[in-house]
């Protein structure tokens, strides 16, 4: 198991809303990464599996989608 503290934090989108990822936990090759996130709106700290976390919109990095999980999920389903 490996725990990585993110410094600086990483702005992400989760099922609970936008937040700042502070830790990534890797249990090994048979498991999803676990992201520990502080939710911006509530200050709650939650952990999410990798498929449920996305980077927030960032024009500089050419991520143009909106900051909602439903839009990110629809992008994932669209054909390449």
pLDDT values of the chain reduced to their tens digit, one per residue, 80 residues: 999 999 999 999 999 999 999 999 999 999 999 999 999 999 999 999 999 999 888 888 787 776 666 655 444 444 44
Whether residue 28 lies inside any domain: the answer is yes
Whether residue 78 lies inside any domain: the answer is no
Whether residue 54 lies inside any domain: the answer is yes
β-sheet bridge partners, residue 3:
25
Classify 19 as helix, strand or coil: strand
Position of tokens 């999980």? 69
Q: How many residues does the chain have?
A: 80
Domain count, the chain: 1
* Cα distances (angstroms) measured from residue 29 to each of 21, 25, 45: 21, 12, 25
The pTM assigned to this predicted structure is 0.78
Whether residue 7 lies inside any domain: the answer is yes
């Amino acid at each position: 198991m490996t725990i990585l503290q993110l410094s600086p934090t990483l702005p992400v989108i989760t099922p609970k809303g936008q937040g700042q990822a502070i830790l990534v936990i890797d249990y090994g090759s048979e498991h999803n990464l676990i992201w520990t996130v502080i939710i911006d709106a509530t200050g709650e700290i939650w952990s999410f599996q990798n498929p449920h976390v996305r980077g927030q919109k960032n024009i500089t990095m050419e991520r143009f989608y909106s900051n909602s999980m439903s839009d990110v999920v629809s992008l994932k389903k669209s054909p390449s």
